[in-house]
């Protein structure tokens, strides 16, 4: 086994026990909000490749037939909303479905299939409202860029699950736009002196994670090259642990040998928490899923 694969195996062994602690409780939900932590069904599926406890997605299935679905906010357990959360939640559910669909009981298969499809239709509508008119995406629009990238990642998976080329094509087009606007030094966003560095770095990390996950799942070498440039940007120019305590960007930092010190910093930040957030565990699961594609 090559040195790279040995390192991937080492990180796999480190991450696997961390995602088995995934749990969910509805702490900040209401008639108009659901929690992104319902996506912990993904780490459960990745950890064991078996049907996890389906209870976290029951409410999502119920909401899928609601005429008010588009108005439901996705928040974290502290009640905070980020534009990326809806796409992250749907992506986590889709990946779970992709992993365990062969073991789903017939009664559950249909409910999951129809439920997640409705959420994907909503994501497609959301993506159509995000404009990319600028030659360079301003850092001030970082939240919109992260929403677009994660929505595109979710639709790529949905296109594979539902064999719908329109969704995979839309995902490819979105990542093409993101890469075309990448700065020569590596960042995806164009920052000015008035932009808060930590906020800019956070959005860059969220974009980097989505782009890397897409690159390996779509086997897109152009996006993979952009990911490598962006990872080097973080190594040379930013302090990821100052931007977030969540492991956004973990997999791309593991992917490149030169940036594994940043991966170690992110993992240390997670392990130092008494209880990693649901978002952190979802991101750990995605890093693990991507690593396993090489093993």
The domain that holds 116 is classified in CATH as 1.50.10.10
Sequence-ordered strand ranges (E) for 5-149: 33-35, 73-75
Report the pLDDT value the prediction gives residue 54, as an integer from 0 to 100: 81
Write out pLDDT tens, residues 232-256: 999 999 999 889 999 999 999 999 9
Quick: pLDDT tens for 53-86.
Answer: 788 999 999 999 999 999 999 999 999 999 999 9
**Integer Cα distance of 164 and 73 in angstroms:** 26
pLDDT value for 100:
87
Closest Cα to residue 208, out of 192, 222, 228?
228
Identify the pLDDT of residue 263: 97
The whole-number average pLDDT for the span 264-275 is 90
pLDDT of residue 106: 80
pLDDT of 30 above 70: yes
- Burial (Cβ within 10 Å: 0-12, 13-18, ≥19) of residue 137: buried
Instruction: Print the domain residue range for 220.
Output: 3-292
pLDDT at 248: 98
Residue 50 has a pLDDT of 67
Question: CA 18 → CA 13, 252, 262, 268, 272, distances in Å?
Answer: 9, 19, 18, 12, 12
d(CA 288, CA 18): 10
pLDDT at position 1 over 80: no
pLDDT higher than threshold 90 for residue 134: no
Residue 105 has pLDDT above 90, yes or no: no
Residues facing residue 35 across a β-bridge:
75
Given a cut of 80, is residue 257 above it in pLDDT?
yes
Q: What is the mean pLDDT of residues 126-130?
A: 94
pLDDT-wise least confident of 30-39, 97-106, 139-148: 97-106
Question: What is the predicted pLDDT for the residue at 33?
Answer: 97
Poorest-confidence range of 82-96, 127-141, 168-182? 127-141
Question: Mean pLDDT, the chain, as a whole number?
Answer: 94
Q: Is the pLDDT of residue 51 over 80?
A: no
Using a 10 angstrom Cβ sphere, with 0-12 exposed, 13-18 middle and 19 or more buried, the burial of residue 22 is: buried
What is the count of structural domains for the chain?
A: 1
Tokens coding 15: 């991450």
């Amino acid at each position: 086994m090559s040195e790279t694969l040995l390192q991937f195996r080492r990180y796999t062994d480190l991450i696997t026990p961390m995602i088995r602690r995934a749990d969910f409780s509805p702490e900040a939900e209401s008639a108009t909000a659901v929690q992104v932590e319902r996506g912990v069904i993904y780490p459960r599926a990745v950890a064991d490749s078996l049907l996890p406890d389906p209870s976290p997605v029951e409410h999502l299935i119920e909401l899928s037939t609601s005429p008010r679905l588009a108005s439901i906010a996705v928040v974290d357990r502290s009640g905070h909303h980020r534009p990326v959360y809806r796409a992250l939640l749907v992506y986590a559910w889709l990946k779970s479905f992709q992993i365990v669909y062969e073991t789903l009981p017939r009664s559950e298969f249909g409910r999951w299939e129809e439920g997640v499809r409705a959420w994907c239709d909503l994501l497609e509508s959301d993506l159509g409202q995000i404009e990319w008119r600028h030659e360079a995406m301003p850092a001030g629009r970082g939240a919109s860029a992260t929403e677009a990238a994660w929505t595109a990642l979710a639709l790529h998976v949905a296109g594979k699950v539902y064999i719908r080329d329109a969704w995979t094509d839309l995902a490819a087009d979105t990542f093409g736009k993101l890469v075309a606007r990448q700065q020569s030094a590596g960042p995806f966003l164009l920052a000015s002196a008035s932009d808060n560095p930590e906020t800019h770095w956070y959005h860059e990390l969220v974009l980097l994670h989505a782009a890397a996950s897409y690159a390996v799942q779509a086997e897109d070498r152009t996006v993979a090259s952009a990911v490598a440039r962006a990872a080097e940007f973080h190594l040379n120019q930013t302090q990821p642990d100052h931007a977030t305590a969540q492991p956004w960007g973990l997999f791309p930092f593991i992917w490149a040998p030169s940036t594994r010190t940043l991966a170690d910093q992110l993992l240390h930040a997670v392990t130092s928490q008494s209880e990693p957030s649901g978002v952190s565990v979802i991101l750990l699961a995605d890093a693990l899923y991507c690593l396993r594609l090489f093993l």
